[in-house]
Amino acid sequence: MPELPDITAYIIALESRILGQPLEKVRLASPFLLRSVQPPLPAAEGRTVQKVRRIGKRIAIGLEGDLWLVLHLMIAGRLHWKKREAKLGGRQNLAAFDFPNGSLVLSEAGSKRRASLHVVSGEQNLATLDAGGIDVFSADLETFRATLSAENHTLKRALTDPRLLSGIGNAYSDEILHAAQLSPVALTGKLSSEEWERLFAATRTTLRLWIDRLDAEAKAEFPEGVTAFRPDMAVHGKYGKPCPRCSDKVLRIRYADKETNYCARCQTGGKVLADRSLSRLLGSDWPRTLEELEALRRK
């Protein structure tokens, strides 16, 4: 799922292309994309784009008359900038937003249709789509700590809860926790003051690093290659690869359709975290340390 750095890059690219441009037409290839009824979608046509804004993991396009088109790309949704009135061929292309200088096309890979488009009128209605998470760049350490420790959750869950933090998901939470050298299953209620300081600094530093990197790319060309798996990431998507800090192999916890990647040496004191499916299979034979894991692999 595109997260804060990716959404910021999209916004940078869109601002240079659609700000001040009239939205000539909206074409829907999938009626399931549109999740609102009032105002009607055709009401957006003919209005000039005045703002482009991030709301959590959503992209909000502000049109004259305080009308907003709000896109949530979910896991597999992506944006593309194409020639004006680009054809919506294939099952993946769900909508096109036509401007005088080109067409913004929304696509979604796979068979599940999770991406969404809302049309809302006014700032008050726009605010209802905000999950309420704080912006880590405008918050101080005390606000960050108080927000994440309001309930006792694992760090992985706390970092990715949109009601707590704005714009962070599975990929960048892995990178943040690796940078902070903290376990993804550590509980917020048990962190020391020094660990909170490390987590706060790592969150800001990691996000700023990727925002700056992706923004620079977006200024050169439209970000067509948005992905949660980037070659320069430290641990996310790097299962079995060497940790860039200690060279031990990156491990993972798999659950549902997601996985958490981490380095046991750097983040858990060498303890191998239980993977739900494998630990259920292995029972008491589940390795508890890196040494036990390596011994199991050699069998």
From first to last of its 299 residues, the chain has per-residue pLDDT tens of: 899 999 999 999 999 999 999 999 999 998 899 999 999 999 999 999 999 999 999 999 999 999 999 999 999 999 999 999 899 988 899 999 999 999 999 999 987 889 999 999 999 999 999 999 999 999 999 999 999 999 999 899 999 999 999 999 999 999 999 999 999 989 999 999 999 999 999 999 999 999 999 999 999 999 998 988 999 999 999 999 999 999 999 999 887 667 899 999 999 999 888 765 544 444 444 445 444 444 544 44
How far apart are the C-alpha atoms of 99 and 216, rounded to whole Å? Answer: 24
Residues 47/21, Cβ–Cβ less than 8 Å:
no
Q: What is the pLDDT of residue 108?
A: 94
What per-residue confidence (pLDDT) applies to 291? 47
Report d(CA 251, CA 262) in Å as an integer: 5
Contact by Cβ (8 Å): 179, 206: yes
**φ, ψ for residue 260 (rounded to 5)?**
-110, 130
- Is residue 94 a contact partner of residue 78, using CB atoms and an 8 Å limit? no
pLDDT for position 256: 60
Q: Give me 155's structure tokens.
A: 């760090």
Token pair of 180 as six digits: 């902070």
pLDDT value of residue 216: 94
* Predicted local distance difference test score (pLDDT) of residue 97: 98
Nearest CA to 24 among 106, 80, 83, 99?
99
Domains of the chain, with CATH numbers? 4-127 (3.20.190.10), 141-298 (1.10.8.50)
